[in-house]
Amino acid sequence: MNIIVCVKHVPDATADRQFEGDGTVDRVGVDGLLSELDEYAVEQALQLKEKADGDVEVTALCVGPEKAADAVRKALQMGVDKGIHVSDEAIAGSDYAATSLVLAKAVEKAGTETPVDLVVCGMASTDGVGSVIPAMLAERLSLPQVTMASVIESQGDQVRIKRDGDTATEVIGATMPLVLSVTDQSGEARYPSFKGIMAAKKKPVETWSLSDIGVDAGEVGLSVAWTHVEDTTERPPRSQGEVVKDEDGSGAGALTDFLASKKFI
């Protein structure tokens, strides 16, 4: 079985994330890492490999600038077998549509020898939080999408997932090949072991440019994006209001007074 897991390199959510003047995310000024939500995707891909009967190869696929190779390396340390890093200056500033195009073309190329059975994604990237790339990939690759999975079961080429929706909990079923996305409810992701970190150094990573995957530079990047950021503004920090210490039950009274003063009672 050939599994591709899509991993994104994102600015650290706990740092001061910022925008560039052109409305793109600052990917230089803030340290980047493998999107935490994609660790769950890596974990599920590895579990599928461990549970499968036959031979399974798991490949981490990342589209992003040079530094994004770190995300691939982390996935290798966690246990994936090899990495593909698609990097090209022309990709900078790409929107969802272009990113999904590059990912789809890379998945196609990755499947030239052994067809891809599963494309596993995270539920969202922690910077864009779109939760749309998996559906776009499914659309571009004409594959079924089984997305936002909290529980994944597979038997042969059949996959069943549990999806906790807004109004219902659903069980979705489909036949491979398919695009799967997993939520942070799917189970803790493993930490790289010392052995895993050492082994990762010897694992193969291929770097592909746009021409390697047959995408024209004019199809991607900021200048041809289908959406345009007009303006970004930092929200003024909230100013801290009164904080009281609860002594002998005074806290509840003060709280109630505050609620009343704001007309919530």
Ligand X SMILES: Cc1cc2nc3c(=O)[nH]c(=O)nc-3n(C[C@H](O)[C@H](O)[C@H](O)COP(=O)(O)OP(=O)(O)OC[C@H]3O[C@@H](n4cnc5c(N)ncnc54)[C@H](O)[C@@H]3O)c2cc1C
208: tokens are 């592909």
Q: Which does 230 bind (CB under 5 to 8 A by kind): another protein, ligand AMP, ligand X, none?
A: another protein
Q: CA–CA separation, 182 vs 42, rounded Å?
A: 10
Mask for 179-218, x = binds ligand X (CB under 6 A): -----x----------------------------------
- State the minimum distance, in angstroms, from the CB of residue 24 to another protein: 11
Considering the rule CB under 6 A, would residue 37 count as an interface residue with ligand X? Answer: yes
- State the minimum distance, in angstroms, from the CB of residue 41 to ligand AMP: 5
- State the minimum distance, in angstroms, from the CB of residue 249 to another protein: 6
19-27, 56-64, 214-222, 237-245 -> range binding ligand AMP (CB under 6 A): 56-64
Considering the rule CB under 6 A, would residue 37 count as an interface residue with ligand AMP? Answer: yes
Neighbours of 71 (CB within 10 A): 25
Cβ distance 181 to 42 under 8 Å?
no
Backbone torsions φ then ψ of 152, nearest 5 degrees: -125, 130
| Reduced 3-state DSSP string for 61-77 | EEECCHHHHHHHHHHHH
- β-strand 57-63 against 2-6: which pairing, if any? parallel
Closer to ligand AMP by CB, 33 or 133: give it: 133
Backbone torsions φ then ψ of 47, nearest 5 degrees: -65, -40
Q: CA–CA separation, 47 vs 112, rounded Å?
A: 24
- Which chain residues interact with ligand AMP by CB under 6 A? 6-8, 35, 37-38, 41, 61-64, 99, 103, 121-122, 124-125, 128-134
Which residues make up the interface to ligand X (CB under 6 A)? 36-37, 184
